[in-house]
Amino acid sequence: MKKTPPILLPSVRYKRKATVFLLVSLAVTGVCIYLGFNPVLLFTEFHFVWDLVGEMLPPDFSILWTNQTILSSIGQTLSMAFLGTLAGGTLAICCAFLASSNTMPLKGVRIFVRALLALERVIPTLVTILLCVIAVGLGPFAGVLTLTITTIGTFGKLFTEAIDNAEYAPAEAIFSVGATRWQVAHFSILPQVLPSFIANFLYAFDINLRVAIGLGIFGGGGIGFQLYMAMKVFHYRDAMALLCFSTTLILLTEKVSDYLRKKIL
């Protein structure tokens, strides 16, 4: 007697993947139609990018020692990242202690500080640099102010979460013997969160160094401004050299920051 072949139905995993792929395809198609964008242009109209890359190669690394302003611009960028991280991180720690329920008993103060941190995170960095340039003018000081503001918003939330996740049993023990809230925060909460704070400071410097280079293009000074001027006067090989040096600087900073964070944590 001849056996009938089994009916093979698609598995649940296959159906799930097919559904996700269909939804993503519909979403991409809808966005392209809404924006009036033809995806075929990505393959037919980008030849000028390769022409530009050809003009930027080989990079002219001699600009690093023939142009005396390059080294000072690099120093400005590093200084902007350092000062923005130091000032913003310090203020973020102060805001974190005011926003955490483990250190601030007043609910109204916690809600106000958390709303302020959320507002700073919502404002885009480019909007912040434009406001700072209007307020204090072009230059590194505007970049430092921008990095300070963005660091407060982003890392204030991380510091608040670190304080919220700290064990409160030691704090209750200290508080029960008559310690003030400042003493509880100093001798119980701070020792637990200090390694996390230091690691986040290093991570903030790593992030702010990248942002500082981009802010220079919009008036923040530093090596980003030199890159913008090189592109503006069509010195593409000089611009490529600055890009390579900026990439190397970021990678070195990232490696050192990762190494120190692993040692601390």
> Which residues does 130 contact at the CB level (< 8 Å), separation at least 6?
218
Structurally, the chain folds into a number of domains equal to 1
**94: in domain:** yes
Q: What is the pTM of this model?
A: 0.71
Note the pLDDT tens digit of each residue in 36-62.
777 776 666 666 666 666 666 777 677
Residue 96 lies in a domain: yes
Task: Confirm whether 180 is domain-assigned.
Answer: yes
Does residue 92 lie in a domain region? yes
Which residue range is the domain that position 254 belongs to? 63-264
Residue 86 lies in a domain: yes
Query: Cα separation of 143 and 163, whole Å?
Result: 29
Residue 67 included in any domain:
yes
211-225: pLDDT as tens digits: 888 777 776 667 777
Question: Where residue 243 sits, what CATH number does that domain have?
Answer: 1.10.3720.10
Torsion over CA of 78, 247, 85 and 200, rounded to 10 degrees? -140
* Residue 126 confidence class, pLDDT cut points 50, 70, 90: confident
In a domain, residue 109? The reply is yes
In a domain, 50, yes or no: no
Each as own residue / partner, the long-range contacts of residues 248-256 (CB below 8 Å, 24 or more positions apart, any chain) are 249/74, 249/209, 250/209, 250/210, 250/213, 253/205, 253/206, 253/209, 254/206
